[in-house]
Amino acid sequence: CKLLVVGGGAGGCSVAAKASNKLGEGKVIVLEPADKHYYQPMFTLIGGGIKKLEDSFRPMKSVLPALATWIKDSAAKFEPEHNTVYTSNGDKIEYEYLLVAVGLQLNYDTIPGLQEALSIPNGKVCSNYSPKYVDRTFQALRNFTSGNAVFTFPNSPVKCPGAPQKILYIAEHYLRKSNKRKNAQLHYNTSLPVLFGVKHYADALWQIVKKRNINVNLRTNLVEVKPTTDEAVFENLDKPGDRFTVKYELLHVTPPMSAPDTLKACKSLVNEVGFVDVSKDTLQHQKFSNVFAIGDCSSSPNSKTAASVAAQSQVVYKNLMSAMEGKPLSRVFDGYASCPLVTGYNTCVLAEFDYSLTPLETFPLDQSKERFSMYLMKKDIMPPLYWHLLLNGLWNGPGLMRKLMHFRL
């Protein structure tokens, strides 16, 4: 085929839509095993009881571009030296150009006791990161009466780095609304040395956690869950081997994540930690000029969010077309990422920033402040924008809107 897109998530769908419109029917193949396409940013709201799981997905067939060919299978082996991908069923797909858009792998199994805890019906351990577990979160919140509510951030790359603390703020607000807050101790245990990577927003979030009496433990990593005794074991990352145990009544776990195993196995395609080794500017592979990557599986050092995918999609598409036409690659990705940090049932801090972790805000107001307008945007405007525009290749992020909003005569 002319273009093989491996992965039918946000990035794969968006670029496949753009490319198949340009190249015509049958020129683009999308390799994707799933029946359902999930709008993952909604998982936070499902965990808080604001949305339902059925609101978050559509049939994969309905979101993939009509002009592209869908092969319902997964990649088992990449051979970029031979322009070939082998599928799990043993089929061989040869391509002229390859876009890797396989996302991240959730490694729940790497924390002893976690999967057992997540399999206990009506249990105290929950996780917003998987459609398999997301309904457990609001269930656990409703069942909670008193004690420790613990929220974790793993010692690994993650998608949407704001999500582990969004559910913390929603949970705190829920406990206040249901008159359970006075008997609850909330803990946010994060492996990071900071509360948030961008100081402008981290300063605002520190004010929120202080005002709401939330205990934050930096450089603290979950290493074991003991479901029989409702205990979580944490390690101090600054003093390896220094461990402590916390008794929990609610434990929300963000699992460790990595590039998918099949991707990591292709050493010529990935960097030392398993991500597709691309130029952070053009998103073209450093070694194979006919290979590009988009989204969470790429090595570009931006925050791994759906908003980044939107901004990357036009860069990848334009550079792909330039490569096909033998022209120099002209588009450069600025590292744009956005994270709507929901801080309760009616407020949100809209964080937007670039590679340098400098704020890159769309609206001409201080977005580090909690606002109802930004909450409504997260809850009601972003989902249709995703389904109708981004997946159809019609949304490239708010760059143009930002320029108009900050227009100076």
Active site residues: 160, 339
φ, ψ for residue 257, nearest 5 deg: -130, 160
CB 190 within 8 A of CB 220: yes
> Do residues 329 and 282 lie in contact, with contact meaning Cβ atoms separated by under 8 Å?
yes
DSSP 8-state code for residue 297: G
The count of C-alpha atoms lying within 13 angstroms of the C-alpha of 67, restricted to the half-sphere facing its C-beta, is 17
* Closest by CA position to 251, among listed 186, 205, 162, 174: 186
Both structure tokens of 96: 């002229």
Bridge partners of 224? 233
- Residue 52 in 3-state DSSP? coil
**Residue 204 to residues 41, 200, 207, 338, 368, Cα–Cα distance (Å):** 22, 7, 5, 16, 6
**Could you give the CA distance from residue 206 to residue 365 in angstroms, rounded to a whole number?**
20
The DSSP result for 318-367, as a single string, is: HHHHHHHTTPPP-------EEEEEE-SSS-EEEEEE-TT--B--SSSS-T
Q: Which residue has the tokens 């792998």?
A: 105
Cα separation, 26 vs 20, in Å, equals: 8
Which residues are CB-contacts of 208 (< 8 A; sequence separation ≥ 6)? 169, 214, 343, 370
